Structure 1
């Protein structure tokens, strides 16, 4: 057996105290207050001292520090455990609150929501049944009703909190599948198995929609051919004319479109599909319309841009992620439906939990949810609305959208970069491109003048070199810790991406990150460094 190890990171043999002393109760309430004060103090100090969004640590450097800790040998001392936590987590955490974190759909969080997080974790309500949550049940329902009202879904609307947009989209498509199968069964012999119906079902969605649409279809027993992508226009919005063509094609082929998924804020571009036109087509075809507004839901609180979501009120179901554009901590998401009766497709009764006999007497949220045990995440939104109010949240979202528009103008005027689309929300997709050769430089292979006038045209080999330069720039930024940006692939080419969700980010921050990016990319490109990234599918051969 391994003996005691001296390094504090590995743990020490500690006397076994009464384990009941670690439970929150009346006798330990003051210890709870002291522990949280100490822990929050350390986090506050780390936040205040973070001069960059990331330390730049590599996975290989951090893994040994974590793995050497023996979880079977407790430290026995909260202060020692918190010191260890700083070593393996806080020191190298990714700080979304830093103004040069520009990567993914992660937001800085508002203080009222953090207060809610502390309260809900300590009380530990479970929102599945009334007898485990009491007032929490009604508070979640009230936040759902508020959101449904902002969406304009009508008096029959309902919904439930979820773990995130992926789960919300999954449940929406489950409801759509069940409704479609109810209609199909009317024309089939009684008792026809569900498996005979599934191959006929199709989901139509934008080519730029979230991957969870495909994942949900797989989880629902649908084949890979069941999700049909609809092409987008130059602004990366689903084209209604092509959606109409696909609806007609499916009908002619004897296929049933169980849902059309429109996106209000795509992950890559922040694009909003033309909701009124899509809703018109769905109504004429009698098809379930699901709107994935996980990103764009912040427009619901915007004092100036709510109109960008016009048409969402005609959806059958809507996904909202408060932990994106409402500045809430993860997790905080919800699925809303225009007809609350369809939530019955998620209902199962268990005698020990929610017996059918109590269904009309008790407001059990488990009857609406894919989850059983579930956190009281609605409390974070509740306290945010009660302390800040929706207009204040909406102004924060307006600020990042305004910043994105200004940043686009900077990018569009900068010959070092190509930008894909003008943003509607707060996402910018762009790539560094090499400028004209310096005096005495030999022109790169395949280089000629770009007819668009944006700099030299490139052949396949040069394009691959530019791809690698952009990938290198992103990795070099992360390694330096000076900024974090994301990457994606557009039309077979590597691009970089800013997702702006921090109202404290400034144009000066944007310009500084662009200068760093261009410096790293140009250095790599001119050095002709060998490529290390795996080849992209669809990338032209050299």
Structure 2
């Protein structure tokens, strides 16, 4: 039977096809560069879900274009033209960072070679690059030589695996699953609740603890909460501290919480998905004092390490705990027989099997830029948030929810005399108007049941003037909405 003739661009990547690969990739890079040049410092276009959906669903995927340039043009129309650009200084919504160029260089090799980091015989040197980065991160945390870890898809997966280890550790110690409880602050990440569901613990297993005036877990409330569990015959399987809450960037008092967790036999997990970049700071590393007391730590390199998604890690103080996720399959990572040389298979400590070589992005960043430059970028966005917070505090028309701690600023439009109810009503209208205009993007949240806007500042190239420009837009939109309501009354 005669094999069908391949399309010129359908062949597998192979050394014989390197010239075609290079040509197509260059066209793609040029196309992206052209798109970047046309964004004109606007992070969004204000496109609605309905407007975005129709041209996509109208595409007949059974009728290929058979032309790369046509496909690039179509991609621009369906995606790039309305993409949200995180590198623009007026993007200040979610925890999405602009990415450093050395990491993009690494992406060429991550995708082009397509190594899988589950077993040594699929990755070879990649296994040891990832392991060395884990060891380096563990040392920055302050863990000893027995530490270990693995790269993951993101903070949600890292937190899930941490709580899985805590659960199995508690069960191995003789505790009944039905008695297990997880404590975290009311401002902790929602992935803690998701993990409890996925681990079969149920919603009731998560005990939320109030926060103090700085939006950190209230140690004065945590102690009694732990004592109540003991009195009720329940076991505090884990205490989850947050080093950088999503809304306020609050860093829980890690040392104090560690002492309470140890006293009650609880696993201490630190979710440093957001604040983990402080490990690279030469001036603010002390903000994470006590992180070395944790049993496990989540780090998201695709937040305050300025890496492309996805790039996260779970790091544990005692690497033997990772054995709770180990399973040997004869076709992949068989248990070594007596006398065999054991292969260093990363799947032995991961809840994923096939896994991208995402560690290479951080490796290339550190080798080209160095950690101090990453730390300087972290310091820059923290300084930026502090300066913006001062501007809000001095404004007669804006209200600050709390002093900035990392790089978020929670605020709302509320000129003197405007009631809380009216501020709650105007806040989502101001945000939607900002998006529709495309000039800036901010996030929305609720604090104690009331509506607020949130600036998440992760662009070290953004200036105070850039962000004050967003605040000016907020004030102008708010004033315009009030004037329109008065005119209609």
2:485 corresponds to which residue? 528
- Is residue 53 of structure 2 the alignment partner of residue 74 of structure 1? no
**83 and 457 in structure 1: CA distance in 2 versus 1, 3 angstrom threshold:** closer
Would you say the 8 A contact 1:259–1:288 is kept in 2?
yes
2:308 corresponds to which residue? 329
Query: Which runs of no fewer than 5 residues in structure 1 stay unpaired?
Result: 1-14, 186-196, 436-454, 530-542
Shift of 1:22: 2.2
Larger deviation: 170-179 or 52-61? Answer: 52-61
SS at match of 1:108: coil
1:93 corresponds to which residue? 83
Number of residue pairs aligned between Structure 1 and Structure 2: 480
- Which of 318, 322, 340 in structure 2 is aligned with 1:343? 322
Give the Cα–Cα distance (whole angstroms) in 2 for the partners of residues 492 and 523 of structure 1: 25
1:226 corresponds to which residue? 205
Deviations 1:405-443 (A, max 9, x none): 10000010001111111112100111111x3xxxxxxxx
**20 and 467 in structure 1: CA distance in 2 versus 1, 3 angstrom threshold:** closer
1:507 corresponds to which residue? 464
- Is residue 288 of structure 2 the alignment partner of residue 288 of structure 1? no
Matches within 5 A, 1:236-275: 236-275=215-254
1:310 corresponds to which residue? 289
1:536 corresponds to which residue? none
- Which of 161, 165, 187 in structure 1 is aligned with 2:155? 165
Deviations 1:221-255 (A, max 9, x none): 01211100000011100011111011100000000
Shift of 1:83: 1.0
Matches within 5 A, 1:126-145: 126-145=116-135
SS at match of 1:97: coil
Shift of 1:525: 3.3
- Which of 200, 225, 234 in structure 1 is aligned with 2:179? 200
Would you say the 8 A contact 1:165–1:321 is kept in 2?
yes
Give the Cα–Cα distance (whole angstroms) in 2 for the partners of residues 77 and 517 of structure 1: 45
- Is residue 411 of structure 2 the alignment partner of residue 430 of structure 1? yes
Q: Cα RMSD over matched residues?
A: 1.5
1:442 corresponds to which residue? none
SS at match of 1:323: helix
Give the Cα–Cα distance (whole angstroms) in 2 for the partners of residues 504 and 159 of structure 1: 32
Scaled by the length of structure 2, the TM-score of the pair is 0.96
SS at match of 1:234: coil
**503 and 303 in structure 1: CA distance in 2 versus 1, 3 angstrom threshold:** same
- Which of 161, 165, 173 in structure 2 is aligned with 1:175? 165
Larger deviation: 42-51 or 69-78? Answer: 42-51
SS at match of 2:211: coil
Larger deviation: 42-51 or 270-279? Answer: 42-51
Scaled by the length of structure 1, the TM-score of the pair is 0.87
Shift of 1:466: 1.9
SS at match of 2:213: coil
Shift of 1:218: 0.3
SS at match of 1:273: coil
1:26 corresponds to which residue? 15
1:12 corresponds to which residue? none
Give the Cα–Cα distance (whole angstroms) in 1 for the partners of residues 286 and 385 of structure 2: 18
Give the structure with higher Rg (CA).
Answer: 1
SS at match of 2:6: coil
Deviations 1:172-209 (A, max 9, x none): 00000000111125xxxxxxxxxxx2221100001100
**506 and 139 in structure 1: CA distance in 2 versus 1, 3 angstrom threshold:** same
